[in-house]
Structure 1
Amino acid sequence: MEKNTPELFLDLCEGDMLSFMGQSWRIVRCRGMGRCAKVYHAVSSEGGAQVAIKAFRREEKYRLVFIKEIRNLDAVYMSRHIASVLGSFTHKGHPCLLFELLEHNLKELHLKNAAGTEPDEPSCLSLYLIQNLLDDIMKCLQHVHARGWVHADLKPANVMWCAQEGCWKVIDFGHSFQEGHQDFSQIQSFCYQSPEAKTWNAFILQHSSAPRGRKLHDKPRSCTSAVDTWSVGCIAAGAFTGMKLYEQGDVTPGGCQQCRKDCETLKCECEPLIEAVIKQRPIDSHIPKIKDVIADLRDLLIQMLQCNPEVRPTASACLQHPFFTHKLKPSYKDLLLMPTRVLRLVNVTDSPSEDGTPDEFTDILKDLREECEKYGAVRKVVMPTDKENKDKAFVEFEDALDCEAAQRALVGRQFDGKPLLATFYPINDYRSQILGTGGGS
């Protein structure tokens, strides 16, 4: 039986060596395992480059899955919100894809966020994180859908954080299809399946053993890019509540009763559900105009989760929604949860531009650079002069992993007689911050 043949997966252990792309690579650990493949973290023995290896099963049908994923990725590449493919190779009969190494997926972020909460308390993300998450995924879908493709398997495990670029990226295009040319296979994962996907999947399951070439009757309409919008709505609602919006059997194939009857006087069943779960939380109390922010998020999710795919907004339309006009700021916890290659140090000193000499300012920058360069190459160290940031410094590293090492080592350390607070900092905000800085090195 297939389940008793684990050798069909590539089984690698920590320290194992592989050779490909003209280099030797050491396996660090297994990052995850799915039905089709295992994913490993590997590091180059020569230059120290770090990558993710997606090793597919050795059977012929999984070789075809490998080929399909390469084809799909080739059709949608050239977006910063899609994990970069670095190459492909075969190892012991296993086809392998090489990807950039990403920090963690959204599912893992929920677990990381839950570490500081009570056991029975839901692990809900901040509105700042949800806004950035939605913005990045929708920009990815805007790109994918503009090329006529559908991702068809969006879920927390397939949305990953890129610390190097400071943004979310989408992975796993193995179920993707060109709109209007849907494969005869099931799409989307449980709990993120749209009503029309459930209808399609039920039909595929019913006719999976039909002879090839046989004409199938009552075939449902092919799915469209609207299935992705539904999945993202479920992801965002789950991020807000800390729980899945729908369990496996909650969504009715073809839509709720009101929508299937096309009843104009009754709301889609998603509306009262979203109105009930998207409400003010204690963690949001510090946000200005919080009622407006919550109302806009609620409205956006109601639109995205309509049973009728034809009325769901496109990715481009979602990005124009008022929810994205709110200027939300990260909390201290957010800045610890989301690593980047920019380190923010607080309690560096009093404002050197006001109370110190130019030489003192230069000495502080030099000391900070020397300390941070113990952990990796530093691009720039800057110290703002505005009142809000007068006690802060921002250190931009070449590599996000070096920034993480510096953050772990420096937090709580004494600098100029004060305990340092060390967090990461959003790359886009840092780039804006540079424009108002007093100097750097």
Structure 2
Amino acid sequence: MSASKSRWADEDPETEAIIAARKREKEEKKRAKAEKQRQLEASKAQTDGDGNDQSRNGDSGPPMKRRRLSNDADTNDAEVPENAEKKKQTTLLRFPVREWGTCRHVDNFERLNHIEEGSYGWVSRAKDINTGEVVALKKLKIENSPDGFPVTGLREIQTLLEARHANVVYLREVVMGNKMDDVYLVMDFLEHDLKALLDEMREPFLPSEIKTVLLQVVGGLEFLHAQWIMHRDLKTSNLLMNNRGEIKIADFGMARYYGDPPPKLTQLVVTLWYRAPELLLGAEKYGPEIDMWSIGCIFGELLTKEPLLQGKNEVDQVSKIFDLTGPPNSQIWPGFRSLPNAKSLRLPSNSSASSSSDPPLLPRSRFPYLTNAGLGLISELLALNPASRPTARQCLAHPYFREDPRPKPKEIFPTFPSKAGMEKRRRHHTPEAPKHGQEAPELDFAGVFGGAPGGDTGEVGAGFSLRLG
């Protein structure tokens, strides 16, 4: 007896009794399990025999009920684990979703300082009192809207809610003030806009940095166009950048959905210096090609630190465009004469000369440090014929982005001191975007190539030339 006793056993009789009881319970479970297995095997043998008899006699009886292989009703209580009842309960997966409810009040945000005023709102830097996060607070301009809530504000909210992309500014929520016309958009705050950065920089971006910026802007634009959204006001002041080298497209006041074929749209869109020639010539139908023209203007501005085409008015803007690209003709831009404002153009006699490339390359003297691939890309983006411009997806696949120097990783992108936290961003004589509902003037471009301003019966006024009937 003493030999079989474990050296770890307790000499206490009560403990020995408990151990013995556990051994007996374990042995009883083993016997019960063996008996249950024997019954199952006997039942299976009987079922197989009955099935063979039925198949021999050609009698097809009712299907056998599927045997229960686990959690049987006759299972002993000792075999049921304690958490078996919990496992039987179905667990529902719950995901956090936003619920319908009233907008928060603007008093939940502490306004820190004013940043700038745009065509469709005032932008301030603010802090969320609940979380302490710094955000951008944009108050929509509603005071002068005769039709109630401005359609520009509705489009901006709608498109921002649909455009969830890494290179599009993130709309967090819409909050209200004390009055019905106090509507604010709460967006992520970014330290810089490219226009202010270019004005403050002593030297332009490096070629590798320009590629990084362009890839992000065109990447965001490719997503917008895939969602059938045109921005219609791309410019450097609407491209925001944080101190992690991330670029985000902002200011969707003029954005809108389009279709195929494109519907009749407002002519007076896009800030003048970034406006495509077909818009200046009065096109009533246009597509995402006008955004790609703006990308070409931004590309040139990144290269030179100055806006590429700084027209004083619409007539002067057309003159500067044709001075860069050369005059249009039916070979490089078929059908341009059918545009309303193109009828007054008096083209020079040598404008019909054909070019060896389609679209023609821009003058190398304007971009002396750009590679051949880069010159080809900016020439395609600034093609007079909208059909010759690449799409955003084609632009992303251009060889310019694959040649050396390669795009600089965002992680090592240079950082710049933020002006938004200390003072207003200075406006450097950049023309404002057109106001919604403003009618496009009827323009006379007879003097673009050296004729009398306004033509024989015209006069100059309000920044453009009017044709007098």
TM-score w.r.t. structure 1 length?
A: 0.57
Is 1:296 the counterpart of 2:373? The answer is yes
SS at match of 2:281: helix
Is 1:34 the counterpart of 2:118? The answer is yes
Matched AA of 2:270: Q
Distance 1:267 1:171, change over 3 A: farther
Matched AA of 1:321: H
SS at match of 2:306: coil
Deviation at 1:269, TM superposition (A): 12
Distance 1:250 1:266, change over 3 A: farther
Aligned to 1:210: none
Separation in 1, partners of 2:238, 2:361: 28
**8 A contact 1:110–1:242 mirrored in 2:** yes
| 1:127-276 alignment, distance < 5 Å | 127-163=207-243, 166-179=245-258, 180-184=262-266, 186-200=268-282, 220-248=283-311, 249-251=316-318, 258-262=327-331, 263=352, 265-266=354-355, 273-276=362-365
SS at match of 2:108: strand
Matched AA of 2:155: K
**8 A contact 1:36–1:57 mirrored in 2:** yes
**8 A contact 1:105–1:158 mirrored in 2:** yes
Distance 1:20 1:98, change over 3 A: same
Aligned with 2:366 (options 277, 293, 312):
277
Show CA shifts across 1:302-344 (max 9, x none).
111000000101111111111111343759xx8443589xxxx
Separation in 1, partners of 2:233, 2:356: 27
Aligned to 2:159: 72
Deviation at 1:266, TM superposition (A): 3.6
| 1:362-441 alignment, distance < 5 Å | none
Matched AA of 2:257: Q
Aligned to 1:88: 174
Matched AA of 2:250: I
**8 A contact 1:254–1:260 mirrored in 2:** no
State how many pairs are aligned.
Answer: 280
Deviation at 1:21, TM superposition (A): 5.7
Matched AA of 2:186: L
**8 A contact 2:212–2:408 mirrored in 1:** no
**8 A contact 1:226–1:312 mirrored in 2:** yes
Distance 1:260 1:173, change over 3 A: farther
Residue range with higher mean Cα deviation, 152-161 or 264-273: 264-273
Separation in 2, partners of 1:264, 1:313: 24
SS at match of 1:48: coil
Distance 1:307 1:74, change over 3 A: same
SS at match of 1:250: helix
Separation in 2, partners of 1:44, 1:232: 34
Separation in 1, partners of 2:106, 2:149: 23
Deviation at 1:257, TM superposition (A): 6.4
Deviation at 1:94, TM superposition (A): 1.9
Is 1:125 the counterpart of 2:205? The answer is yes
Aligned to 2:41: none
**8 A contact 1:199–1:253 mirrored in 2:** no
- Give the ranges of 4+ consecutive aligned residues of structure 1 lying more than 6 Å apart after TM superposition: 253-257, 267-270
Separation in 2, partners of 1:323, 1:142: 17
Separation in 2, partners of 1:184, 1:145: 18
Aligned to 1:205: none
SS at match of 1:144: helix
Separation in 1, partners of 2:383, 2:228: 22
Is 1:328 the counterpart of 2:406? The answer is yes
**8 A contact 2:276–2:293 mirrored in 1:** yes
* The structure with more radius of gyration: 2
Aligned to 1:289: none
Show CA shifts across 1:259-288 (max 9, x none).
3433461479995644222222xxxxxxxx
Distance 1:225 1:156, change over 3 A: same
SS at match of 2:186: strand
Distance 1:88 1:102, change over 3 A: same
Separation in 2, partners of 1:52, 1:24: 13
Is 1:46 the counterpart of 2:130? The answer is yes
Matched AA of 1:69: E
Separation in 2, partners of 1:296, 1:339: 33
Distance 1:305 1:106, change over 3 A: same
Distance 1:134 1:274, change over 3 A: farther
Deviation at 1:252, TM superposition (A): 5.1
Aligned with 1:103 (options 168, 188, 191):
191
The structure, 1 or 2, with the larger RCO (C-alpha pairs under 8 Å, 6+ apart) is 2
| 1:49-60 alignment, distance < 5 Å | 49-59=133-143, 60=145
**8 A contact 2:292–2:389 mirrored in 1:** yes
Separation in 1, partners of 2:157, 2:366: 39
Matched AA of 1:279: P
Deviation at 1:141, TM superposition (A): 1.3
Matched AA of 1:328: R
Distance 1:242 1:268, change over 3 A: farther
Separation in 2, partners of 1:89, 1:190: 32
Instruction: Please tell me the root mean square deviation across aligned C-alpha atoms, in Å.
Output: 3.1
Separation in 2, partners of 1:157, 1:274: 26
Matched AA of 1:298: L
Separation in 2, partners of 1:42, 1:170: 20
Separation in 2, partners of 1:267, 1:221: 31
**8 A contact 1:69–1:173 mirrored in 2:** yes
**8 A contact 2:155–2:256 mirrored in 1:** no
Matched AA of 1:148: W
SS at match of 2:174: strand
SS at match of 1:306: coil
Show CA shifts across 1:106-152 (max 9, x none).
001112313xxxxxxxx422112210111001111111111222111
TM-score w.r.t. structure 2 length?
A: 0.54
